[in-house]
């Protein structure tokens, strides 16, 4: 038990640290080899911040632990909205731009609904997983095309026009500007890409093993551990980046980071896990966790439009989201103890 707890804590700490090294090394290497800022922002940084969820769920699926594989993905989505957006809004109110309400949030809501429909039969097949990955590829291609079209039409940075703050290219430019302040030789960047990836795998194996052992010791399900401890741990990169963005007043990055991460978790993390090993989806996931995830996604629409202060998630609303996360976690624990 003590060894499992130690492995889980060390695995989480190493996971977050190695993910940060992997992202930084990959982004610097991509910039060195001439990758456009748009692709750096969307692919490298977006992939990197969700790398912990992806590797943990993939290894859990490979080891035949579907509770951690699915619980990590959907638990991270719940954590991202209820906990991370909530904490970020309490630090500084988050402005929600109209384009987020018109484009990004509807896409996330549609993807969430698609997942519910695919898994409603209680089974995640390779066909379902392949469809999720195909949808993600289509969204990536469409978003990149939109960003490049905006640049060709001169909508970004044109004299006398406001930059589209929540466009993917704006995010890419923000990342490129941040990278310009970093001085790292290409050899060192490639070193951290390799080391970061190896440590991601090692730390994920430690985390999954420790989580399974703790679940068995307490007599609770792997799903509960995946939804709580593992999900919160793998969401730490999103928490750090969103809180930092909120403190700097970068509302688009704070909210866009969460929307992008949830899309990645729902489509890629679950898709890869399902392709590795098809799995059964329990009634708890279908009737408890996925509805909570869907309601929290819809709550972003309500909070975004607002009643007294349109277009912003205020500090009291952030407190409500955080309270929802604490209530949901307490519900999970009480349910698990009651069934033990």
Range with the largest mean pLDDT of 156-165, 302-311, 316-325 = 316-325
> How far is Cα 156 from Cα 277, in angstroms, rounded to an integer?
43
Is residue 155 within 8 A of residue 21, CB to CB? The reply is no
Residue with the bigger pLDDT between 204 and 108: it is: 108
Q: Answer yes or no: is pLDDT of 275 > 60.
A: yes
Strand, coil or helix: 254: helix
How is residue 36 annotated by DSSP? Answer: -
Q: So what's the pLDDT on residue 331?
A: 92
Q: Percentage of residues in the chain with pLDDT exceeding 70?
A: 78
Q: Answer yes or no: is pLDDT of 288 > 90.
A: yes
Q: Answer yes or no: is pLDDT of 114 > 90.
A: yes
Residues 2-339, CATH architecture: Up-down Bundle (1.20)
Which tokens sit at 195? 């080391």
Q: Answer yes or no: is pLDDT of 152 > 90.
A: no
Across 78-89, average pLDDT: 92
Least confident of 36-50, 123-137, 192-206: 36-50
Per-chain mean pLDDT for the chain: 79
Across 100-117, average pLDDT: 84
Whole-number Cα distances in Å, 128 to 66, 115, 259: 15, 9, 22
Residue with the bigger pLDDT between 216 and 297: it is: 297
Is residue 206 within 8 A of residue 233, CB to CB? The reply is no
- Output b/e per residue, 300-327; b: 16+ Cβ within 10 A: beebbeeeeeebbbbeebbebbbebbee
Residue with the bigger pLDDT between 225 and 15: it is: 225
Least confident of 27-36, 73-82, 237-246, 284-293: 27-36
Q: So what's the pLDDT on residue 200?
A: 76
pLDDT tens by residue, 241-266: 777 777 777 666 677 778 888 988 99
Contacts of 30 (CB under 8 A, 6+ apart): 39, 40, 44
Which tokens sit at 151? 């640049």
Is residue 91 within 8 A of residue 247, CB to CB? The reply is yes
Q: Answer yes or no: is pLDDT of 297 > 70.
A: yes
pLDDT tens by residue, 18-29: 777 776 777 677
Closest CA to 80 of 279, 249, 278, 232: 232
pLDDT tens by residue, 154-204: 544 444 333 433 444 444 444 444 554 556 788 888 888 788 878 877 887
The residue extents of the domains of the chain are 2-339
Residue matched to tokens 């610097």: 28
Q: Answer yes or no: is pLDDT of 329 > 90.
A: yes
Q: So what's the pLDDT on residue 157?
A: 47
């Amino acid at each position: 038990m003590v060894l499992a707890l130690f492995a889980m804590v060390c695995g989480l700490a190493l996971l977050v640290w190695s993910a940060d090294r992997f992202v930084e090394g990959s982004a610097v290497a991509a910039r060195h080899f001439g990758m456009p800022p748009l692709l750096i922002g969307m692919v490298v940084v977006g992939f990197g911040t969700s790398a912990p969820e992806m590797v943990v769920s993939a290894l859990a699926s490979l080891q035949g632990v579907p509770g951690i594989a699915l619980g990590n993905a959907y638990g991270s989505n719940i954590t991202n909205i209820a906990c991370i957006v909530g904490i970020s809004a309490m630090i500084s109110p988050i402005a929600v731009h109209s384009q987020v309400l018109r484009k990004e949030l509807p896409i996330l809501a549609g993807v969430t609904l698609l997942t519910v429909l695919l898994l409603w039969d209680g089974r995640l097949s390779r066909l379902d997983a392949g469809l999720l990955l195909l949808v993600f590829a289509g969204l990536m291609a469409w978003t990149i095309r939109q960003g490049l079209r905006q640049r060709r039409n001169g909508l970004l940075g044109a004299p006398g026009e406001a930059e589209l703050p929540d466009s993917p290219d704006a995010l890419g430019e923000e990342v490129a500007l941040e990278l310009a302040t970093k001085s790292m030789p290409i050899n060192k960047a490639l070193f951290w890409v390799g080391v970061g990836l190896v440590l991601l795998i090692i730390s994920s194996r430690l985390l999954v093993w420790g989580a399974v052992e703790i679940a068995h010791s307490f007599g609770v399900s792997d799903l509960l551990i995946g939804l709580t401890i593992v999900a919160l741990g793998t969401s730490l990169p999103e928490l750090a980046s969103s809180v930092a963005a909120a403190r700097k007043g970068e509302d688009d990055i704070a909210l866009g980071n969460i929307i992008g991460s949830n899309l990645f978790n729902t489509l890629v993390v679950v898709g890869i896990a399902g392709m590795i090993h098809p799995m059964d989806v329990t009634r708890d996931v279908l009737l408890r966790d996925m509805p909570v995830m869907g309601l929290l996604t819809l709550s972003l629409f309500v909070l975004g439009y607002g009643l007294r202060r349109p277009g912003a998630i205020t500090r009291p609303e952030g407190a409500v989201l955080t309270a929802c996360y604490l209530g949901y976690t307490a519900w999970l624990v009480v349910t698990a103890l009651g069934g033990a």
